[in-house]
Each structure stands twice: as structure tokens, then as C-alpha cells.
Chain A
Amino acid sequence: MAEENLLTDDFVRQLINVGEVDILVGLPTYNNAKTIGAVVQSVQSGILRWFPRERAVIINADGGSRDGTPGLVTGVSIDDMRPVASMNALRTLHSISTQYANTPANGVALRSILAAAELLRAKACVVISPDSENIEGEWLWRLLRPVYKDGFDFVTPTYHRHKFDGLLVTNLLYPMTRALYGLRIREPYTSEYGFSGNLGSQFLARNPWEDKSNDSWGELRFTLEAIRERSRICQAFLGNKHHVERRPSDLVPALRQTVGPLFSALDSDFSIWSSVTGSQPIGTTGPDSPELLEPVRVNRKRLREMFSSGVADLSSVFQSILAASTLSELQRIARQSETEFEYSAELWVRTVYEFAASYRKSVINRDHIIQALAPLFRGRAFTFITENRNGSAADVENNIESLCLEFERLKPYLLQMWRSGQ
């Protein structure tokens, strides 16, 4: 088995002690000591409350933390040596940890968790973000129940987000996956999701350890796998999304982990997305109870400046990627004043589709293509924020829906570029 090369002997020994499980909770971590304690406590209480009879395990795949993160995870184990903690627990709860590398890599972390799930024959699995400070035990129920009880293969979350939180999701990932695959999965790139052991095994089989290019991809690829396998998918409402502050420099890695896999999938999934028109809603479980959301501060001015300087600095790169008319339009708006500036939905969709087509043709190094998208995304983000600055939640939703429809409307353009490139 390929995974024998990745899982350490010590981790395998721990897995032997765990044995077959019904429920597996995966926690990919890297230096999360500040938040992981509260997260694992919630996970533990969620298991005890919602799955007291099931054989459960918490698996921590750590990227080489130096702040004691793994110890905080393993500390919530319940066994006969810890009688106080186990007063209300029917059975042993193993919480085990493995360090897969000295540097964090989402793809390796996830595959370590999936390999453990396969070896333990887990029926239902959930991955939880170590940053989810507002996690409640009930999240486990919402993400696992559809898999464990109702036969779903994949459960993605929905949240209440602040209108300016998750701009990459709302402006690119959600509308583009929706347009391509015809499914309205609101959070295709998520750090919390549930899935069946079967889906995990299928995914593992398709993404071998030996392929190092798999090491850095993000969870979006898992979503695409579920779609590709025609899995039964549903969404679970989890409440408010805790906003994690990002630095501008975080954008390129985020694009690599999300847009990269999405563009890559277009090639292999052509037979799937090329025949899809329109989109279908996905069933969502859980009560929808809006609460006040913490405001998200965005430096709009900086966004536009980075867009303008990016368009200027990368014009030679853009000439290889974009159609002349698109580039010309971008250069035009880059010269606009802040009050006039508008990166329209149509222009944005054309931009993205042209990037996807160029990515396929590898007109330049693919990573450079992804990096080149960053300043343009900032420009689009500026417009989105400006348009919605005074909008209500419903207004914002309407705007996102309009953008999605634009992605669907212009899909033939993508198809045309694709076919002409074949």
C-alpha cells in the first residue's frame, strides 16, 4: 500500500490501538496552540453528546508545530486512566497525533487523515479547522449526521458571513464551480466538512502519495472529487463564520490552493462540465439563525492601488493570458479614479475564464498565471466592497447571485476557448 510510505510506524501503532471506528474527526494543524484547545474541547463534547455510543477517534495531522499543539489535541483522550474526564463517556475516545512533515502542507495533512480513516474503516468523517474558535459541539452532529445516518457522502457547511468575509469564495470559487458543475455548493473551499469513508478512500486512490504536486493543494479538490463521483451532497448550516484576519501576502497561497486545483480540474473534468448548463440548489440542513456578525475591516484604497500597479507591472504577462479586448478594458479601468472605478461582473468573469484557458495551455508557467490573478482579484474585490458597502445582507446575496448567473451566462465563452484550444 502506498500509504505505508507516508504514515510513520508510531502512527500505525496508534491506529492499531484505535481499531475500527464509526466516527473520525480530522484536525490538520500547524502551530495552533492558541486556538486548538477550545476546538478539541468542543469536538470532545460534541462526540460525547451526539455520538456517545459510536466508536470515535480524533486524528491530528500536524505539520511540525513547535508550540505544543499536538499535546493539546491528545490531551482530550478519554480512557480508563482518566476517570474524571470520562465520567459521562460510555467508551474510550482516542485522540492521537502524527507529525507528517516539518512544514505544513494541506494536501499531506488531509491525505494522512484519509489514510487513517481508510485503515480504521471509518464510516463517517469530519475535518475541522484548528482556527474554528466559535465551533460548537453541535457542528459535529450537523456535519456527520447526514453521512452517518442519512447516506450522504459529502457535507459542506454554510455560514453566516460578514458581507466582506470570504471574498475569494463569493467572487470566484462559488460562482465558478457552480457554473462549471451545475451545483450550488456555497462553500466549495471550506475548512470544515463531513464525508463518508468511501468517498475518502476514492479520493485517496485518485491522488497517490507519490505525486508531490498533490502536497500543497487545498480542500477544494476534495469538493471537486465529490462532484466528480456524483456523490450525494448536502449542506449543513453551522452558524456564524469566524473571521480570520488575512494579510495581503496570504492571497497568492490561497489562490494556489483553490484556483489552481479548480483550473487543473477543468481539463480532466471537461466531459463533465462541458455538458452542464444552469445549476441546481443543494439541500441544506440545520436551523438558520442569523446573529450579529463582527465587522470585517478592509483597506479598499490599498486594494485598488495594488490592482492598478499590478495591471501596469504585469502587462506583458497579461498579454500572454488575456484577450486583447479584456486587457485593454482592464488597463482602462486601472486609470480610473477611485470614485469612477468599476470592475464589472462581466469583465471579471471574462478575466477568470481567460485565465483558466491560459492555465490549460500553460502559456507561461502555471504558477505565474495564478500569481498574476492576484492583483486582478483585488480590483474585483474593491468593486464588490464598494457596490455593497451600504447594502443589506439580502442585497449582497442578490449581487452574489447576479455574479453567479454571469458566470453561468458566459460559460459558452469558456467552452469556446476550450474547444478552440484543443
Chain B
Amino acid sequence: MPLNEDALWYKDAVIYQVHVRTFQDSNGDGIGDFQGLEQKLGYLQELGINAIWLMPFFPSPLRDDGYDIADYCSVHSSYGTLEDFRKLLESAHHRGIRIIIEMVLNHTSDQHPWFQESRSSTDNPRRDWYVWSDTDNRYKGTRIIFLDTEKSNWAWDPISKAYYWHRFFSHQPDLNYDNPAVREQMWQVMSFWLEMGVDGFRLDAVPYLVEREGTHCENLPETHAVLKDLRRRLDEQYPGRMLLAEANQWPTDLRPYFGDGDEFHMAFHFPLMPRMFMGLKLEDRKPITEILQQTPEIPATCQWSLFLRNHDELTLEMVTDMERDYMYDSYAEDKTMRINLGIRRRLAPLLQNDRRRIELMNGMLMSLPGTPIIYYGDEIGMGDNINLGDRNGVRTPMQWSGGWDAGFSTAEPDRLYAPLIQNPVYGYPAVNVLSQIGSDHSLLRWMQRIILVRRSSAVFGRGSIEFIHPANHRILAYIRRLGNEAVLAVNNLSGAAQAVELDMRKYKGNILIEMFGKNIFPRVSDQPYLLTMGPYQFYWFKLRRV
């Protein structure tokens, strides 16, 4: 299956997020690798996704799950070789699947040779590749992101006898983007992978590239200038490739990252995700519609990226204090589930393994404006292990079968990079790909179907959205529209059956065709359109004039 040549391919994509370490171990060392991932491309193709976002696979001391990169132009030996990666890329493309890789622009590992050189002497040519200071009093207005572990954004380097700037862990010094040599070098790094054929980058932590005194050192114009320059070079030299911004910001602060369609192609919509969970718990569409109404228009070539869960905590930075308290009490009563300003849990445990709620959340993910991202394992309802440190509890091996090592590896179980989920509800004997493939009604089969339906119409990826505001606040309803095509999505956020009247007069004369079963529903008239919805049920209707 050839790759779709459309330059806006990312708008129609369904992305699968995976860390190579977690997916499939081909050589029996207990760690997933490129060859293992390549072996499982058929599974992903059958799932229906058409892009993979690979988390960092570079050489790294792995003190931050690979986001502490020690060499940008190689791969971690545990995952294979550069040649293995090339083969994975080729095989994926052959199956019509694009590969998006991670690029951490903001910082390196303190083990990176650049930092080692930089700290070695104030005269070193790479001294200015990082942000150094004699005091820790600069940039005082800057917040600390990892509140649980870091007390300051400055760390004392005993070798260099100076402070260096870090927005994340202290072992991740920030690069100095005021230095043209750094900017040039990072473009060279990106070119290295683009030449190989990668289809896009998820650019990590982009708001923090540049620092300026008297600011909070986020979203600065100078940072946007750096990013625009990267985009310009990308378009000139590698058209059709994509940049995805990781910027945990309010939508209005995110909007500049799209520029005039000349900065990022895509950006995560961070504030929406917690509000989807909030809306579900409250049984009220208000949090969801409010944040989407506050979401500004973006250029036609740009796209939001939506997700339910990922490798990090369910971040609660972009909510009010009251909302955060509510989310904690609702989804993380056990305080060990909390980390930083968020909740370190997977989708299924967050939703108490309630199949109806899992489906509803995925239904919204797939029908709200944006490109959906599925976190590996969530398509089968994998659980987590909150007893593992940091966010490792949501990064356990993929559960392929109920057999040895869950089919992930042939290594001795205690050699696996992380323990398998073992508990009776979510453990691999109960939750695995093999058993779900064998059941037409499994979550996996259902995910295959919804992805198929989503991909059957461009309206989901490219259409406009128009909210209908039924008086029943438990119902979230909207029309997605692209050209002459229109789809009505109706979601019941309540655990009880609901009656709802939709004002559909604008679409008078259309009949509704339910997109999963293809059944016809009554024609829209001047009267309110009455629907009865089961608990947590959702409908997608295609509107047709017949």
C-alpha cells in the first residue's frame, strides 16, 4: 500500500504512539527493539492506524525515558541499529504507515558530549551551547515544571563552577538557542533523519527554547523565530513532512505555534484532554464545549492533535485549581496515582475498565476536530502498575498473548525492562491481543471498526465543527462538515439513558444514516429531532438529502 501523497496527510491520520522498548522484543534480551516493531506492523495495519509516533530511541542514560538524549544521530543499542531503523521505516512505508519520531530540541542529557565539552571550560567553543550563569537569580519569573523533584531551574555544576539552566530535570541542561551554531546543528540533526525518510517530528517542549529576563521564558517571540526558521527549511528541502508541537499551553497561547501556517503543522490540544475526562465524570458537556469554544481558529493547513492518554501523566496543568482538585478526587483518590500536576494512569483503569465509557471516550477522540493519537495498549484496554516509579507504570510491555512474557519477549521474565502487568483484571492472561483478535466483540475489534469508520470520511479530519446545544447538558452534540458532507455526532456523557431534542432545522429534509450499522433514521423536520440514548452511548450519523 503506497503512502498517501497528499501534503496534508496528517489531517487524515490516525496515529499510534509507541516506545520501541515496550512493543516487541525480537532478540530475547527483554527489551523491545526495531526488528520486533517491524514484525508487528501487520498488527498495526490491521488496527487501521496510518502513522506511528515513535518515542525517543536515541542513545541516552535513560534517566527520563529517553528524553535525555546523549547522541542525536544514532539509536540506542538496546533497540538495534540504524540499519534496523531504516528497515522499519521502509516496511512501514510499504504498508502505508508513516513514521513520526521524537526530537528533543530544548535540552540534552548532561551526558551528551556537547554538554561535557561545554562544562569543561569557559573557553571551550561549545561553552555557549548551553545557558550558563554565575548566579541562580536570573529569569526569576520562570515556573518550575517538575515540582515534585526540582527546586530551581538552575543547577550548580561543580566542574564548571557555574549554574546551568534547565527547565526539566537537572540532568537535562537546556541548549542555548541564542547561539546560531546550536540552531544550525539542530537543523542538521533533523536533516539527518529526514534524509533517511522519517515523515515528521514531534518536537518536544518547544515553548522553552529561548530565555529572556523579565519574562516567564515561555512562548517568547524569539522561540517562534527559531521554530519558523526550522519550518522554512523543512518546507524548502523536505516538502510533505510534518512538525508536531508539544506545548502544554492554553489554546490561545498555542495559536502562535501555527503562525500563518508557517510554523507547526500540528499541535497537541492539551487542555481538551482533561476536560473530556472531567465532562465524563460530571456527566456534563460544559467543560468540553467551553474549551473548544475558547480554541481559536487555526490556518487551513494546520491541525490539532488529540489524545486520551500518553506516556506521561494525565496532565492537569491546564485546568483551574478547582478543576484539578475535582479531577484528583475523581480519578486519583489514591495519592500514589498522582505525579507532578497530573495522574499517572492508563485509559482503562481511569475509566474503571468500563467498556462503555472507554468506547465513548474513543468515540469523542475520533470525532472531535483533530488527528487522534492512540497510546499503545489502550486499544486492548491495558492496565497500569502504579507501584512502579515515575510514570513507568504506564510504560509496561505490550500484552500480545496470555503466554510466556505475554508474547512480548522470550527472555526470562525478570530480565524484562519492566515487569508485566500481572493483576487479575488487567494482567496479560486477561487482557491481550491474541484473545481479543479471536472475539468479534472485543475492544480491539471495536477499535478496528471505529478507526475504519473514522477513516471512511475526510470530514472527521478536515471538517468544521458546529455545536448543537440541546437543553440536556449531558448530551454533547456537534455537526462536522466538509463541503457537502456532514456528520452529526451525539454523545451521551451520562451513565443513564437520556432523551434529547436536537435543533436540526438547519438540516431539514436530510435523513440520518448511522455510520456503524448503516441504518436509516427519520428525516429531519422543523420539529426538534428526538433521540433516546443509552448510557454512555454515542452515535455518528451521516446526513443525506434523499
Contacts and interface: CB of A to CB of B under 8 A. Distances in A.
> Does A pair with B?
yes
Interface of A: 13-14, 16-17, 19-20, 52-53, 55, 78-81, 83, 86, 88-92, 94
Contact of A17 (B286, B326, B467, B471): B471
A90 B494 contact: no
B472 interface: yes
A90 B285 CA distance: 10
A88 B326 CA distance: 13
B473 A20 contact: no
A86 B290 contact: yes
19 contacts: A13-B501, A14-B471, A16-B472, A16-B499, A17-B470, A17-B471, A17-B472, A20-B496, A52-B322, A53-B326, A55-B283, A80-B285, A80-B469, A80-B473, A90-B282, A90-B284, A91-B284, A92-B286, A92-B473
Which among B289, B469, B471, B474 has the highest number of chain A CB atoms within 10 Å?
Answer: B471
A79 B322 contact: no
A88 B293 CA distance: 16
Given A83-B294, A88-B320, 15 more contacts: A14-B471, A17-B471, A19-B473, A19-B498, A55-B283, A79-B469, A79-B473, A80-B289, A80-B467, A83-B290, A90-B286, A90-B322, A90-B323, A90-B326, A92-B285
Contacts of B326: 52-53, 90
B322 A88 contact: yes
Contacts of B256: none
Contacts, number: 61
B282 A91 contact: yes
A94 B290 contact: no
A80 B278 CA distance: 14
A359 to B, nearest CB: 47
What is the interface of chain A mostly: helix, strand, loop, or mixed?
Answer: loop
B349 interface: no
B80 interface: no
A19 B496 contact: yes
A83 B284 contact: no
A337 to B, nearest CB: 66
B287 interface: yes
A78 B278 CA distance: 17
A415 to B, nearest CB: 51
Contacts of A13: 471, 501
Contacts of A55: 283
Contacts of B287: 90-91
A79 B499 CA distance: 18
Interface string B274-300: 000010001111110110011000000
B474 A19 contact: yes
Contacts of B474: 19
A20 B535 CA distance: 14
Nearest to B330: A53
A149 to B, nearest CB: 15
A80 B293 contact: yes
Interface string B462-496: 00000101111110000000000000000000101
A252 to B, nearest CB: 42
Closest 3 CB pairs of A and B: A17-B471, A92-B473, A80-B289
Nearest to B323: A90
Contact of B286 (A16, A19, A80): A80
B284 A92 contact: yes
Contacts of A86: 286, 290
A289 B323 CA distance: 34
Contacts of A14: 471
A55 B124 CA distance: 63
Contacts of A90: 278, 282, 284, 286-287, 322-323, 326
Nearest to B293: A83
A380 B5 CA distance: 95
B282 A80 contact: no
Nearest to B320: A88
Given A80-B290, A83-B290, A17 B323 contact: no
B494 A19 contact: yes
Nearest to B288: A80
B366 to A, nearest CB: 21
B494 to A, nearest CB: 7
Contacts of A17: 470-473
A8 B58 CA distance: 68
Given A14-B471, A52-B322, A79 B498 contact: no
A83 B467 CA distance: 14
| Residue of A53, A86, A89, A91 with most partner-chain B CB within 10 A | A91
Contacts of B499: 16
A85 B496 CA distance: 28
A55 B281 CA distance: 11
B278 to A, nearest CB: 8
A15 to B, nearest CB: 11
Contacts of B284: 90-92
A81 B473 CA distance: 11
A162 to B, nearest CB: 39
Nearest to B494: A19
Contacts of A16: 472, 499
